[in-house]
Amino acid sequence: MFNPLQRVPLLLFFLALSTISAAESDTPISRFQNYLRINTAHPNPNYTSPITYLINFANSIPNLHSKVLHLTPTIPLLLLTWPGTSTPSLPSILFNSHLDSVPAEPEKWTHPPFSAHKTSDGRIFARGAQDDKCIGMQYLEAIKTIQSKDPDFKPLRNVHILYVPEEEVGGFDGMGKFVETKEFKELNVGFVMDEGQASTNDEFRVFYADRTPWHMVIKAVGTPGHGSRLYDNTAMENLMKSIEVITKFRESKFDIVKAGLAANSEVISVNPVFLKAGIPSPTGFVMNMQPSEAEAGFDIRMPPTADPQLMRKIIEEQWAPAWRNMTYEITEKGFLRDNMGCPLMTLTSDSNPWWSVFNEAVTRAGGKLSKPEILASTTDARFMRRLGIPTFGFSPMKNTPILLHDHNEFLKDTVYLEGIKVYESIIKSLSSFEGSYEHRCNAVSQQ
């Protein structure tokens, strides 16, 4: 368990905070800035400091209970709970965010990436400002505001706020392990909200599915020989033929996107990421020798509508056929089907009452949702959807450039404050919902 007495990693952090006046450090914006100043970037994210900071803030909110679990000896997870009045008759609501962030290159930023510098126009520059420390604090600020504005309000369902580690490196040692624990099963989760992405217009984006990465390496072998001779089925020849076929597949999918018939996230994408061949020499490569081996790596992204068996058949028969002296290896970095064999998607229609409640809550807060999307990348939501738990990805940021993982990531103070108001409506509506939901499969259309 987490030991709150282990304060050494926090020393520099709290010394920095000591320069902030008491009044300035007690606002939603300054609290957000303080959270952003904690460096949780990989490859060595600091998990102790943010958990301590969040617990201290949670302790200022009445009836909010905290619990720290260790998924491994060095990887903690924080669970906060606002108890509901109907426990345990109704499944709980879970709001998830992740503690870790991707690295930043300070020399390429206008302001230091962990300074949370706020400009005169309200832009707060920090790694994690959009991805996704914003929602991690907005959940708490929303509950704090609800209790202040409406002290008589009590949620029917348990409301859990979860802060998980390791999302940016796949989540397998974070959410992936947590969903297998008895502590998670005891939560009796009925609905989950996880991170989304910013919207560049005045509508909020919402995601009902993620794409799943496949990492594929194709290897070709062939006869080595003098660079002046022509051979059939050389390693490089066969690999180049494979790349040509893959490129045509990629172009066919991209044409669908360019024609406006599907979003980028709705098609199978494939991109080359490395080539490895040739015989090294002190000055580069031996130019008069044909190599006997050649490899290429590809990043494939599979939407839940894709047929994984069909995709494997295409790879085996067209991209890396054995008759061309080729082999391949696929590393699936996730899953496309849930535990019932259904596509890993959450319904966004009135047949899913959670969708209706969520949509109405956003509207009540003065917002509007754009057409529901499949996320082009992956989040921890996939671990929930795999269990058949309806899960939406949502980060209330509109009229905001999409800067996750980019240099100069920022979020405007007005956008952040509006997000708190949106979550006030969402948390009250979802936690008061008395209906039920039965998990059903979505229909699958092949790309």
Give the three-state DSSP class for 346.
coil
Q: CA end-to-end span of the chain, whole Å? A: 47
Backbone torsions φ then ψ of 149, nearest 5 degrees: -75, -40
DSSP symbols for 110-172? SS-TTS-EE-TT-EEE-TTTTTTHHHHHHHHHHHHHHHHH-TT---SS-EEEEEES-GGGTST
In this structure, the answer to whether residues 178 and 48 fall within a common structural domain is: yes
Task: Tell me the residue range of the domain where 172 lies.
Answer: 28-210+343-432
Q: What is the pLDDT of residues 185-213, one digit of tens each?
A: 999 999 999 999 999 999 999 999 999 99
Res 355: pLDDT: 97
The strand pairing partners of 231, in sequence order, are none
Whole-angstrom distance, CA of residue 107 vs CA of residue 242: 40
Annotated binding-site members: 98, 131, 168, 195, 405
In this structure, the answer to whether residues 356 and 410 fall within a common structural domain is: yes
**Measured CA distances, 327 to 301, 310, 311 (Å):** 20, 18, 15
**What is the CATH number for 69?**
3.40.630.10
Is 12 within the bounds of a domain? Answer: no
State the pTM of this model: 0.88
Q: Where are the alpha helices (DSSP H) in 285-434?
A: 308-314, 353-364, 381-386, 413-432
DSSP symbols for 276-301? EES-EETTEE-TTEE-SEEEEEEEEE
The Cα diameter of the chain in Å comes to 85
Q: What is the pLDDT of residues 281-292, one digit of tens each?
A: 999 999 988 899
In this structure, the answer to whether residues 92 and 199 fall within a common structural domain is: yes
Whole-angstrom distance, CA of residue 378 vs CA of residue 333: 10
Instruction: List the pLDDT tens digit at each of the 447 positions of the chain.
Output: 444 334 444 444 444 444 444 445 689 999 999 999 999 999 999 999 999 999 999 999 999 999 999 988 999 999 999 999 986 789 999 999 999 999 999 999 999 999 999 999 999 999 999 999 999 999 999 999 999 999 999 999 999 999 999 999 999 999 999 999 999 999 999 999 999 999 999 999 999 999 999 999 999 999 887 878 888 889 999 999 999 999 999 999 999 999 999 999 999 999 999 999 998 999 999 998 889 999 999 999 999 999 999 999 999 999 999 999 999 999 999 889 999 889 999 999 989 999 999 999 999 999 999 999 999 989 999 999 999 999 999 999 999 999 999 999 999 999 999 999 999 999 999 999 998 888 877 654 433
Is 437 within the bounds of a domain? Answer: no
In this structure, the answer to whether residues 123 and 250 fall within a common structural domain is: no
- Encode burial over 143-170: b for 16+ CB neighbours within 10 A, e otherwise: bbbbbeeeeeeebbbbbbbbbbbbbbee
Annotated binding-site members for Zn(2+): 98, 131, 168, 195, 405
**What is the CATH number for 222?**
3.30.70.360
Cβ neighbours for 163, distance < 8 A, ≥ 6 positions apart: 50, 51, 54, 77, 78, 79, 80, 97, 98, 99, 136
Whole-angstrom distance, CA of residue 246 vs CA of residue 187: 45
How far from the centroid of its chain's Cα atoms is residue 317's Cα?
Answer: 33
In this structure, the answer to whether residues 225 and 147 fall within a common structural domain is: no
Helix (H) or strand (E) holding 58, with range, is helix 48-58
Res 370: pLDDT: 97
Whether 100 is catalytic is yes
In this structure, the answer to whether residues 388 and 368 fall within a common structural domain is: yes
Which residue in the list 100, 132, 210, 373 is annotated as catalytic? 100
Say how many domains are in the chain.
Answer: 2
Which residue in the list 132, 141, 167, 373 is annotated as catalytic? 167
Res 24: pLDDT: 52
Whole-angstrom distance, CA of residue 116 vs CA of residue 126: 5
The strand pairing partners of 204, in sequence order, are 369
Whole-angstrom distance, CA of residue 253 vs CA of residue 270: 9
